[in-house]
A and B are shown apart, each in its own frame.
Chain A
Amino acid sequence: MNLKQRIIDLSSTMTVSGYESRAHAALREQLGGIFDEITTDAVGSVICTRRCGRAGAPKILIDAHIDEIGMMVTEILDGGFLRVLNLGGIDTRIMPAAEVCIYGEETIYGVVASTPPHLQKADEAKTLKPITELLIDTGYSRDKLEQIVSLGTPVGFVPRYTELLGGKITGKGFDNKSCAAIAAEAIASVERGALAGDVTLLLAVQEETTMLGGTTGAAGIDPDYALVTDVTFGETPDTKKGDAFPLGGGVVISLSAVTDRRLTARTVELAKEKGIGYSRSVEPTGTGTDANATQLTNCGIPTVVVSLPLRYMHTYHEMLSLDDAEALRALIAAFICDSRIAEDFAR
C-alpha cells in the first residue's frame, strides 16, 4: 500500500488513550494482510507478528504506541453542551472553535465553544480557559444527547488531512500512528526470508497517559532486542536548536543514557550504509518514549529509539514529511533484516 495512504488510514482511527480497544477491529482490518498473527494482550495492546520461517530465530520488537491524545466526557449540560477532561497533554491554545468527534452510542460531531470578539470583556483574549472549563456544542437537546453520550465517552479530534508543499501532510493522530503505519509498511516491504528474526510490531496502548502498553507488551513478547519508533519535535521558527529537527532531513536517532548505546551505534551505521538521512538527538535524561520502559523490561532488552520529526505535535494539524516517512520505513526495513545486529543481540 502507498505509505501516505497507510499513514492517513491508520491515523484516522479513534485511539484516544485508554480507549484503544475500540479500534481493534479497524487495526486488524487495516494490517491483517501483513502479519502471520495479530493478538491483543490483557491491557489492549495489539501484537502483530511476522515470522522469518526459521526455528529458534531471534525475536525482534518494533514498538510504536497506537494511542493518541484526546478527551473524555465529564458532564452533560442543558442545551446539548458537554464538558470534558483531557487524556494526554492537549494544548488548550488550539481548542476554541475546534471540531471534535464524540464517540458515544453513535459518533456525533461537536464544536468547541468560543467567544466572539464582540462579546468579550477587556483582556479576555489574552487568557486561555483550562480544558475543564471548555464547552462542546453538539447541537442536540440534552435529553437526546443523554441517549447517545454518557460520562466517560471518549472525544477526539475530527480527522482531516491536507497535503502541503514539498510532500508534507497535516492532520490528527500522526503522534504516533504515523510511525505505527510506517513500521507496518517496513515489515510488509521485505521478503519473509530476508528477515533476521521473527518480527513483532507492538501497537502499545496508553503511551500518552501511563506508558502501560509499552511496559506490559515488551514483557509479554520478551524480545531479544527492540527498536522503539515515535515522533519527535520538528523544527519551526519558535523551537530552539537541539530541541527540534528539520523536516525533510530523514529520521532522528536518539543518543540517550537509558537506551542501548551499542545498538544505537549499529543503527547509525546502518543508516549511513544505506544512505538514509538522519539527525542525532541528544537526550541525556530519557527519551520521552516507550523505550524508557522497554529497556528495563524482564531481564533487560537492548533498545534503540528512532523517531520521525513532527511539527505541531499534539494538535490536530500535526505535520510530517513523506520523505522522512520513507526514510524511517527504509531504516526499519534494514534493521529487521540485518543479520549482524541479530547475531550480536540475540540472547
Chain B
Amino acid sequence: MNELKRIDLLRALCAEFGPSGCEGNVADFIEGQLRGVCETRRDRMGNVIAHLPGEGPRVMLSAHMDEVGMMITDIDDKGYLRFANVGSIDARVLCGRAVTVGNEQNQISGVIGAKAIHLQSADERKKATAVSAMYIDIGASSREEAEKYVDLGDFAAFASEFVEFGEDGQRLRGKAIDDRWGCAVAIETLRALAGKPLAVDLYAVFSVHEEMGKSGARVAAYAIRPDAAIVLEATAIADLPDTAAAAKVGEMGKGGLLSFVDKGTVYDAGLIDFALETARRADIPVQLKRYSAGTNDSAQINRAADGARAMALSAPTRYIHSGSCVADARDFDAICALLQAMLTEWKD
C-alpha cells in the first residue's frame, strides 16, 4: 500500500465504506498505512490498536473509524430496498441522494428515491419525507435481481466525492470526515513520532461503533487502561450566518477546537491548560469550543475501568452526518502540530 499523506490520506480514508458495524475495510486501510511505523493489532470488537512505546504515562489517542449510514431492512417485489438509519442522520440529507450499498466484500451503487415534485401534493412539498417512506433504487427490476447483490442486514453509506474547494482550495468536502479526520490525524502523528524519544507510552485506538453508542472505544480503554486520553474528532460548529451568535461553536481555519464540556463529558481542566500552554508556546492556532452540544468517545473512555482523564481536540466541521461534511485543511495541520507538540513535551 502506498503511504498517503495529509489531505491525500484523508481523502482515501473518507472513500472507504464503513458504517458502524462494517468498519473492516477502514481497519485494513489503517493497518496498511501504519505498516512499518508501529505495531498494530485488531481486538475482538474490531478496533485497531496501535502502540508506540515510550517512557512516561500511558496516553491513548482515540479516533473512530465508523461513519453514519443505513442498514437494509427489506427488499420488495420490485427490487427496491427499504432501510433504517445506523447512527443519527437527518432524513433531509437522504432524500434523492446517491448511496453505496453492501458489506465489507461487495458494494453496489444506488439512489434514494425522491418522487418528482410535480407529483407531490402541496402538503408533501412542505414536509420532510420520513426515512420509513424512503427506498433505495439500485436499478434492479425484481426482488430476485436485487438479491443477487444485496442481503438483509447489508449496509449503505453516502456515495460522495471528496472535493477541495473554496479560496485557495482549503475547504474539504466529503462524507465520513466525521471521523476519518481523527484517523488521519492519529496516523500522521504516529508517523511523526515514530523513532523519536517520547514522553509518553502512546496508544492510538481506531474505534468501531462510535455512531451507535461508543462501545468500541470503551472496550479498548478497558484493555489499555490509559492515564489520559485525547479524543480526535470532527465537531459541528454552527457558524452559519443564520445561527445566533451565542450558539456558534467556533470558526473554520482557526485551529482545532478544545472542549470544556459537552453532553457526555466534563473535560479535564489540567489537560486543557496543558494544550493551551503548548499552543501558545509553539504558536499553534487553537480555539475553545464555545458551546455545549453533541458527545463523543470521551464519555466512554472517561468512565472505562477505573477512569481516565480525557480531552477532545476536534476539527471545526460544517454539515456533519451528511454526504457533504466540510472541514478546513489548515485546521488539519494545526491539530497535528498541537498534538505532536503535546506528546513530545508531555507533563503529567
- A and B associate: yes
Q: Does A343 contact B (CB under 8 A)?
A: no
Contact between A97 and B322, CB atoms less than 8 A apart: yes
Please indicate which of the listed interface residues A79, A81, A108, A238 has the most CB atoms of chain B within 10 Å of its own CB: A238
Interface residue? B90 (CB, 8 A): yes
Distance, CA A163 to CA B159, complexed state (A):
13
Residues in A with CB closer than 8 Å to B166 are: 80, 109, 138-140
Q: Is A339 an interface residue (CB 8 A)?
A: no
| B119 on interface, CB distance cutoff 8 Å | yes
Contacts of B88 in A (CB 8 A): 117-118
> A116-B90, A315-B96 are contacts. A126–B113 as well, Cβ < 8 Å?
no
Are the CB atoms of B140 and A165 closer together than 8 Å?
Answer: yes
Shortest C-beta distance, A21 to chain B (Å), equals 26
* Complex contact B294–A118 (CB within 8 A): yes
B79, chain A: closest CB distance, angstroms: 8
Please tell me if the beta carbons of A127 and B321 are within 8 angstroms of each other in the complex.
Answer: no
Q: In whole Å, how far is B72's beta carbon from the nearest beta carbon of chain A?
A: 15
Interface string of A198-238 (1 = CB under 8 A from B): 00000000000000000000000000000000000100111
Quick check: A93 and B96 within 8 Å, CB to CB?
A: yes
Most chain A C-beta atoms within 10 Å of own C-beta, residue among B125, B166, B319: B166
Residues of B within 8 A of A118 (CB): 88, 236, 293-294, 320-321
Q: How far is the CA of A170 from the CA of B89 in the complex (A)?
A: 23
Q: Indicate if A111 sits at the interface (CB-CB under 8 A).
A: yes
A141 engages B319 (CB within 8 Å): no
Taking a contact as CB atoms under 8 Å apart, the answer to whether A97 and B116 are in contact is no
A173 at the interface (CB under 8 A from B): no
Binds B, one of A11-19, A56-64, A269-277, A306-314: A306-314
Interface string of A74-93 (1 = CB under 8 A from B): 00011111000000011111
A268 CA / B224 CA spacing, docked (Å): 74
A125 touches B90 (CB 8 A): yes
B97 contacts which chain A residues (CB < 8 A)?
A: 94, 97, 317
Contacts of A316 in B (CB 8 A): 96
**Chain A positions within 8 Å of B137 at CB level:** 164, 236, 311, 319
A128 touches B117 (CB 8 A): no
The CB with the most chain B CB atoms within 10 A, among A111, A164, A239, A243, is that of A111
> How long is the Cα–Cα vector from A315 to B318 in the complex, in angstroms?
23
Residue A114 interfacial (CB < 8 Å): yes
Interface size (A, Cβ < 8 Å)?
68
For the complex, is A135 an interface residue (Cβ under 8 Å from B)?
yes
Give chain B nearest CB distance to A135 CB in angstroms: 6
Give which listed residue, A96, A114, A137, A164, contacts B110 with CB less than 8 A. A164
State how many residues of chain B have any CB contact under 8 Å with chain A.
66
Q: From B323, which residue of chain A is reached at the shortest CB distance?
A: A97
Q: How far apart are the CA atoms of A92 and B114 in the complex, in Å?
A: 11
CB-CB contacts of B100-136 with A at 8 A, as 1s and 0s?
0000000011110111111110000111110001010
With contact pairs A118-B294, A126-B128, A165-B138 given, residues A239 and B167 touching in the complex (Cβ less than 8 Å): no
For the complex formed, measure the closest distance between the CB of B236 and the CB atoms of chain A, giving whole angstroms.
Answer: 4
Partner among A125, A170, A248 whose Cβ is within 8 Å of the Cβ of B128: A125
B240 within 8 A of partner (CB): yes
Chain A residues near B173 (CB, 8 Å)?
99, 109, 111
A79 touches B236 (CB 8 A): no
A341 near B: Cβ within 8 Å? Answer: no
- Interface SS of B by simple majority: loop
Contact check, B324 vs A98: say whether CB atoms are below 8 A apart: yes
The complex places the Cα of A312 from the Cα of B134 at a distance, in Å, of: 12
* Distance of A237 Cα from B293 Cα, bound (Å): 38
- Whether A114 touches B322, Cβ cut-off 8 Å, given contacts A128-B126, A166-B141, A312-B116, is yes
Whether a CB of chain A sits under 8 angstroms from the CB of B348 is no
Chain B's closest residue to A163 (CB) is: B109
Q: How far is the CA of A91 from the CA of B110 in the complex (A)?
A: 19
| A140 vs B322: C-alpha distance when bound (angstroms) | 21
A301-347 contacts to B (CB < 8 Å): 311-317, 319
Q: Which residues of A contact B93 (CB under 8 A)?
A: 96-97, 114
Given contacts A162-B109, A166-B139, A248-B141, contact A140 B95 (CB under 8 A): no
Whole-angstrom CA separation of A96 from B326 in the bound complex: 13
A119 on interface, CB distance cutoff 8 Å: yes
Residues of chain A within 8 A of B98, CB atoms compared: 160, 162, 170, 317
Inter-subunit contact A314/B293 (CB<8 Å): no
Least CB distance, B249 to chain A, in whole angstroms: 8
Point out the residues of chain B lying under 8 angstroms from A237, CB to CB: 76, 78, 80, 113, 135
The reply to whether B241 and A81 form a contact with Cβ atoms under 8 Å apart is: yes
A99, B161: Cα distance in complex, Å: 10
Interface pair A81/B240, CB less than 8 Å apart: yes
Contact A135 B240 (CB under 8 A): yes
Question: Would you call B165 and A108 a contact (CB within 8 A)?
Answer: yes
Q: For residues 105 through 132 of chain A, which have their beta carbon under 8 Å from a beta carbon of chain B?
A: 108-120, 125-128
Ranked nearest first, the 7 interchain pairs of A and B with the lowest CB-CB distance are A139-B166, A164-B139, A139-B171, A165-B139, A94-B96, A97-B322, A313-B116
Chain A residues at the B interface, C-beta cutoff of 8 Å: 77-81, 89-94, 96-99, 108-120, 125-128, 133, 135, 137-141, 144, 160, 162-168, 170, 233, 236-240, 243-244, 247-248, 288, 311-317, 319
